[in-house]
Structure 1
Amino acid sequence: MFRYLTKEQKRTLNVISFVEFSRMLGIFLVIPVIAIFAEKFTSSGYLIGIAVASYEISMAIFQIPMGKLSDKIGRRNAIIIGLIPYIIGNILSFYGNTITILIVSRFIAGSGAISSPAIAWAQETVETEKKSLSMSYVGASIGLAFLMGTSFSPEISALLGIRSVFLISAVVGLISLFTAFIPRIYNVNLTTSSVELKRPVMGIRVFVIALISFLVSVSAFIFFYLLQIYSVQSYGLSGYSFILFLPVIVGGGIAVIFTEKFRNKGTTMSKEISFSIMGTGLAVLSLIAFFDLSPWEISLLLIPFFTGYSFYELLMIPFLSRIIRNKDYGLGMGIFYSFQFLGSATGALIGGEIIGSHSNSSIIQISIAVCLLTVVISFLLSTRFTSQSLH
């Protein structure tokens, strides 16, 4: 399907995709083990939650400013500026030896919020009718980063130590920085269609989708937070690696297949989002079994979560590209990503609160209740406000 892109468009999208892949790979290498690493410096569930959340809080704060900055100075310039604190923050995390340094360094890394400029740049590279295609192009690289980072992070940590993931993240960030200089700026002359003119400056669906992203991120991060804590405590780092690898690969593969199937059939986005959220909800229920089942059984039960979450990630950005006006990409994507990372931070803080305030016997039940509440609300919002086709 990418044959409809010109050579210049593919060249620019390849660079954008590599920049996003490299940065997201660094992020997903850290997420599965950051709570375990924080435990080395403190036994406080609250401080661990803050350490996990600090990156997401920073990303939430700087998404909109970076999006607006990219509207003024250009997408590539904003990306280059954003990669610098990301690299510095990961280097500080690698050398840090206190929980305070970890919290501060993660906040610094998160301030390089380049998701909004990167997506906006990808959109400006193609004509209006090819926007979903460009998002699929970039989204595939993000999905690959998610699969690779999440599945290999525990294994790398077991072999080289958890600190190594921060150094690797800094290195891939540096590679991205140099890669961003490669393409000449290629923007198509976007014409304003009648459909484009009818779109509000920032329609209600953008904010509803952002709220859904917030809620899904809350439940997903609580899930990730507790998964790594209890898997490592029960089975060690190698056991955690075993538990995570199969569902990430299988769930991601299923998500890719279903994404293409739904896209080809032209089904509405509300059904696609609902499918994703229901998959997430099914996986959250598997937390009940953590103390009773073997690592192999837990791994199988995690497949619904990673299927639903991957499906959601693959579909959301292309959908947004159809409802945000061309001139509002920077701000619109900034709003979306701010809500998303704020949700991740909230999930991490809730996870830390649960662990810090409750006994083991109630932690799983409370976590499930919180996750299911966010899933139900997200489901209701998606069926009410997002009934638009991807086509």
Structure 2
Amino acid sequence: MNPQERLSVQSIALIYAFRMMGLFMIYPTFSYFAKSLPGSTPFLIGLALGIYGLTQALLQIPFGTLSDRVGRKPILFLGLALFALGSLIAGSSHSMTGIIVGRAVQGAGAVGSTLTALVADSTRDEHRLKAMSIVGMTIGLSFCIALVLGPLFNGWIGISGIFDLTCGLALLAMLILWLLVPSSKQIKRHRDTRVNSKSLSRMIRHPELLRLDISVFLLHATLTVTFLALPITLHLNAGLSLGHEWIVYLPVMILSFFGMVPMIILAEARDRMKQMMILAIVFIALAQGLLWPLHSSSFLTAVLLWFYFTGFIFMEASLPSMVSKTAPLAGKGAALGIFSTSQFLGIFFGGLLGGAIFHQGGVDTLFIFGLILALLWLVLVIFMPAVRHLSTKIYHLPEHHDALDTLCKKTQGIDDFVIDNQEKTLYLKVDKRVFDEQTFTQSMNQGA
């Protein structure tokens, strides 16, 4: 990437990070704080935690489509302004109703797909996948940092202060967007990021993609359910004082990262993706099942959280890649849009149903519910076909490419291809173990 591309990608990744940190810093402490608010019930606590997922799910695809028409930056400024407004509403509220409204407005700033499209706009075709990887790693890292910083900030400035801080991060993100991210001279509609309405119904019915959509739904439903229970159990049962939860989360997140790395290597380099998926879900189920009877010990809770977050981080990193490998190139944007919507609906479902279960049966029933979700997920994955080991390649079309269709059809290792003359881009889905990229690019550039 050239210096301008690097600056744009790093700036967009920072905007992503600020949004993620703002959303997740409240997770480690919110349910314990919220139970003392006027009018608070376990159901409303769950609704407050999950409501932003509903507004995100409803507006993610419409905002992305609108950005194709009016430009990325106007939609991003609108989304970040809504995110800041929602944070301000929640931070100034002293009731559950106000916080629920604030969280819903936060979620209405649903600009994730627009940021992804801006990454594609800001980089050349041959660097787009690298740029997306940088953004993806930043999102994962910001999630881990948020879980550590959230309890620290709660001890210093409280939950209301965290919401105010989130508002400040959103305003800072707007400043970065204004000063550091260049406006596109032309709105580009990238096949791998835009949602084609004609492909939506076909991608929803695609059986392998449906399993992945259900997987990300259940992954984030269990996350929300887990964080409904954890703040309360760490304080009331494990004996951690306010602001000291980071003592558990910091080593857990660091060790979970190191636990996830060999699973990624085995999944990608050794083509053991399905086996590692099953192991990750077993880790999540084990944590849910044993947190139920063992959450009175802070040490055992930390050990079980290592299992949970090792499985969670692996799945969070792997599922988007699996969607990219599985989706037909002509419907990849639609497949990723559905996948993202499923993720946010999982957050809402986990908060809504988790809150109802918490209201009826207490905190222990949340771990039982999480275990049931994980076991259902395990059955789903055990019977899914193995994920094919494919990679996406993107090339700029050469000036003379009349014979390119024939070249793609006869080249060994190419599973799928799309020649987009409007974008002047060639999209390939290849098996890198068989595909000879050097020979192919030489033939393509020679007009063979």
| TM-score bracket for this pair, using the shorter chain length | 0.7 to 0.9
Match of 2:220 in 1: 217
Q: Tell me, in whole angstroms, the C-alpha distance in 2 between the residues paired with 1:389 and 1:274.
A: 20
C-alpha contact (below 8 Å) 2:18/2:173 kept by paired residues = yes
How far did 1:151 drift? Answer: 1.4
Match of 2:308 in 1: 305
Aligned: 1:248 with 2:242: no
* Secondary structure, aligned partner of 1:162: helix
Match of 1:100 in 2: 97
Q: Which has the higher helix share?
A: 1
Partner residue of 1:337 out of 329, 336, 340 = 340
Aligned: 1:282 with 2:286: yes
Residues 327 and 70 of structure 1: is their aligned pair in 2 closer, same or farther, counting only changes over 3 Å? farther
C-alpha contact (below 8 Å) 2:12/2:177 kept by paired residues = yes
Amino acid at match of 1:35: S
Match of 2:354 in 1: 351
Match of 1:373 in 2: 375
How far did 1:49 drift? Answer: 1.5
C-alpha contact (below 8 Å) 2:12/2:181 kept by paired residues = no
Q: Deviations over 1:101-157 (max 9, x none)?
A: 111111011100111111232244445565442222101111111111011211221
Match of 1:227 in 2: 230
* Secondary structure, aligned partner of 2:385: helix
Residues 66 and 210 of structure 1: is their aligned pair in 2 closer, same or farther, counting only changes over 3 Å? farther
Give the count of matched residue pairs: 378
C-alpha contact (below 8 Å) 1:216/1:378 kept by paired residues = no
Q: Tell me, in whole angstroms, the C-alpha distance in 2 between the residues paired with 1:53 and 1:173.
A: 20
* Secondary structure, aligned partner of 1:180: helix
**Which structure 2 residue ranges, 5 or more long, are not aligned?**
193-198, 392-431, 433-448
C-alpha contact (below 8 Å) 1:89/1:109 kept by paired residues = yes
Partner residue of 2:17 out of 7, 14, 21 = 21
Q: Bigger CA drift: 310-319 or 215-224?
A: 310-319
Match of 2:445 in 1: none
* Secondary structure, aligned partner of 1:267: coil
* Secondary structure, aligned partner of 2:242: helix
If you compute each CA radius of gyration, which structure gives the higher value, 1 or 2?
Answer: 2
How far did 1:253 drift? Answer: 3.6
How far did 1:17 drift? Answer: 0.6
Residue pairs, 1:155-234, within 5 angstroms: 155-181=152-178, 182-185=180-183, 203=203, 204=206, 205-234=208-237
Q: Deviations over 1:22-64 (max 9, x none)?
A: 1111112122222223212234111111111211221121112
How far did 1:243 drift? Answer: 2.5
Match of 2:365 in 1: 363
**Which structure 1 residue ranges, 5 or more long, are not aligned?**
194-199
TM value normalised by structure 2: 0.75
Name the % identity: 23
For the aligned residues, what is the CA RMSD?
3.1
Q: Tell me, in whole angstroms, the C-alpha distance in 1 between the residues paired with 2:318 and 2:362.
A: 38
Residues 108 and 43 of structure 1: is their aligned pair in 2 closer, same or farther, counting only changes over 3 Å? closer
Partner residue of 1:65 out of 52, 62, 74 = 62
Q: Which has the higher strand share?
A: 2
Q: Tell me, in whole angstroms, the C-alpha distance in 1 between the residues paired with 2:247 and 2:333.
A: 39
Q: Bigger CA drift: 272-281 or 108-117?
A: 272-281
Q: Tell me, in whole angstroms, the C-alpha distance in 1 between the residues paired with 2:247 and 2:155.
A: 11
Residues 321 and 159 of structure 1: is their aligned pair in 2 closer, same or farther, counting only changes over 3 Å? same
Q: Tell me, in whole angstroms, the C-alpha distance in 2 between the residues paired with 1:348 and 1:370.
A: 16
Q: Bigger CA drift: 340-349 or 314-323?
A: 314-323
C-alpha contact (below 8 Å) 1:89/1:106 kept by paired residues = yes
C-alpha contact (below 8 Å) 1:218/1:374 kept by paired residues = no
Q: Bigger CA drift: 5-14 or 167-176?
A: 5-14
Q: Tell me, in whole angstroms, the C-alpha distance in 2 between the residues paired with 1:114 and 1:223.
A: 26
Match of 2:396 in 1: none
